[in-house]
């Protein structure tokens, strides 16, 4: 049994008694779930998280999104008091439309670049027998459990946060939202940019399904109106999500304010990694000897039980069957 600091405190004893509070890592020791409260972190990042490809794609998407929102919404709400000032920054309405289309083309390029990166990276990992779906954006049943656990934690019903993977439930939800939003904006935008192609393509496609429906002249205009509505509404919703959810959750929340550098450096702070991506941090301990040494010294400093240091790379301990949803790379002990 591991004795936590200040073990006389009833609250600490109750937390430490939880079966899942400690995670044992060979060569390091028993790591308490809330050890992130005691670690030192470099604001620009301590541990690798994203490849240069992902960093470049994020820069392209974020910069073009700002331009698209500024040019598109100022044209959409041209009769508002602020719109003429924004449009003027881009040289007037005609030039703003041109800038909007160029930015859209760059965003489409970034989306294709991202798809190719994900596909190529997955194939490479599969060939090397290194692919682990738990480290991807694929939704899992565990994410639902993590949501429930996290809600309980913020309500004071759980003593510590869940042990989450490289991508936690919040990021997976946002990723799915980006896929949906990009698909709607690109599809509707292309329909508005090339109305003639839509007017020809849709009736031809409908004719194969229902010849009577295809002969109606109202079909192309209906889809054009639908595309205009979808493009505008999705743009407004995307702006609200980015401003009120993404920016707040990534840069403004306690522990991240005033800025998180991960999207520029591709690295994550030790504190953030342990708090929201604990299972990924355990994998980092396995791969990085310097990190194992740091954590072992920290455990000694805080009075936790440690194990003898290892001179070789750690091996995963007693992995559960691949079909088990809750499999983890480490062994849990009291």
Three-state DSSP string of the chain: CCCCCCCCCHHHHHHHCCCCCEEEECCCEEEECCHHHCCCCCCCCCEECCCHHHHHHHHHHHHHHHHHHHHHHHHHCCCCCCHHHHHHHCCCHHHHHHHHHHHHHHHHHHHHHHHHHHHHHHHHHHHCCCCCHHHCCCCCHHHHHHHHHHHHHHCCCCCCCCCCCCCCHHHHHHHHHHHHHHHHHHHHHHHHHCHHHHHHHHHHHHHHHCHHHHCCCHHHHHHHHHHHHHHHHHHHHHHHHHHHHHHHHHHHCCCCCCCCCHHHHCEECHHHHHHHCHHHHHHHHHHCHHHHHHHHHHHHHHCCCECCCCCCCCCCCCCCCCCCCCCCCCEECC
Is residue 118 scored above 90 in pLDDT? yes
Q: Which candidate, 143, 142, 146, 144, places its Cα nearest to that of 162?
A: 146
Mean per-residue pLDDT, 211-237? 77
Residues 6 or more apart whose CB falls under 8 angstroms from that of 12 comprise: 4, 5, 6
- pLDDT of 306 reads 81
Average pLDDT on 42-65 reads 95
Tens digit of each residue's pLDDT (9 = 90 or more) over 54-67: 999 999 999 999 99
Distances (CA, A) of 287 to 226, 262, 274: 51, 20, 15
Greater confidence (195 vs 212) lies with: 195
Average pLDDT over residues 67-92: 95
Average pLDDT over residues 264-275: 95
What would the pLDDT profile of 87-107 be if each residue is shown by its tens digit?
999 999 999 999 999 999 999
Among 10-19, 179-188, 232-241, 295-304, the least confident range: 10-19
What phi and psi values does residue 194 have, to the nearest 5 degrees? -125, 70
Nearest to 184 by CA among 140, 153, 228: 228
| Confidence at residue 320, expressed as pLDDT on a 0 to 100 scale | 44
Q: Residues of the chain with pLDDT > 90: what percent? A: 66
Provide the token pair at 136. 């991807």
Among 10-24, 54-68, 308-322, top mean pLDDT goes to 54-68
Q: What percent of the chain is predicted at pLDDT more than 70?
A: 81
**Residue 333 — pLDDT band, cuts 50, 70, 90?**
very low
Once rounded to an integer, what is the mean pLDDT over residues 125-146?
Answer: 95
Which whole number is the average pLDDT over 319-331?
44
pLDDT of residue 199: 72
Distance CA 157, CA 312 (A): 40
The mean pLDDT of 223-249, rounded to a whole number, is 88
- pLDDT at res. 208: 62
Q: How confident is the model at residue 111, as a pLDDT?
A: 96
What residues are paired with 332 via a beta bridge? 23
Is residue 329's pLDDT more than 60?
no
pLDDT at residue 204, rounded to an integer: 63
pLDDT score for 201: 74
Question: What is the chain's mean pLDDT, rounded?
Answer: 85
Give the mean model confidence (pLDDT) for residues 138-158. 96
Using the structure block, give the residue that is written with the tokens 């489409």.
108
């Amino acid at each position: 049994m591991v004795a936590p600091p200040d073990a006389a405190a009833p609250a600490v004893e109750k937390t430490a008694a939880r079966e899942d509070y400690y995670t044992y890592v060979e060569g390091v020791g028993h790591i308490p779930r809330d050890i992130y409260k005691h670690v030192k972190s470099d604001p620009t990042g301590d541990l690798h998280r994203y490849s240069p490809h992902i960093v470049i794609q994020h820069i392209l998407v974020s910069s073009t999104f700002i331009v698209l929102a500024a040019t598109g919404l100022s044209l959409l709400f041209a009769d508002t008091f602020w719109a003429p000032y924004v449009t003027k920054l881009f040289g007037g309405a005609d030039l703003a439309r041109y800038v909007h289309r160029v930015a859209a083309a760059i965003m489409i390029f970034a989306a294709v670049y991202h798809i190719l990166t994900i596909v190529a990276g997955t194939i490479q990992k599969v060939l090397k027998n290194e692919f682990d779906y738990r480290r991807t954006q694929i939704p899992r049943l565990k994410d639902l459990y993590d949501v429930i656990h996290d809600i309980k934690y913020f309500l004071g019903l759980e003593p510590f946060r869940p042990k989450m993977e490289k991508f936690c439930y919040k990021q997976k939800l946002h990723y799915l939202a980006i896929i949906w939003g990009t698909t709607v904006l690109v599809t509707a935008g292309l329909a508005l940019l090339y109305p003639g192609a839509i007017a020809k393509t849709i009736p031809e496609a409908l004719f194969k399904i229902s010849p009577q429906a295809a002969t109606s002249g109202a079909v192309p205009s209906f889809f054009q109106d639908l595309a205009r509505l979808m493009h505008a509404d999705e743009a407004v919703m995307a702006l609200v999500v980015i401003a009120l959810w993404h920016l707040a959750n990534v840069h403004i929340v306690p522990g991240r304010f005033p800025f998180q550098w991960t999207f520029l450096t591709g690295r994550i702070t030790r504190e953030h990694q342990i708090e929201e991506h604990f299972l990924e941090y355990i994998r980092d301990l396995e791969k990085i000897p310097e990190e194992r040494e740091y954590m072992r010294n920290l455990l000694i400093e805080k009075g936790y039980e440690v194990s003898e240091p290892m001179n070789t790379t750690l091996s995963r301990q007693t992995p559960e069957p691949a079909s088990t949803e809750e499999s983890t790379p480490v062994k849990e002990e009291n």
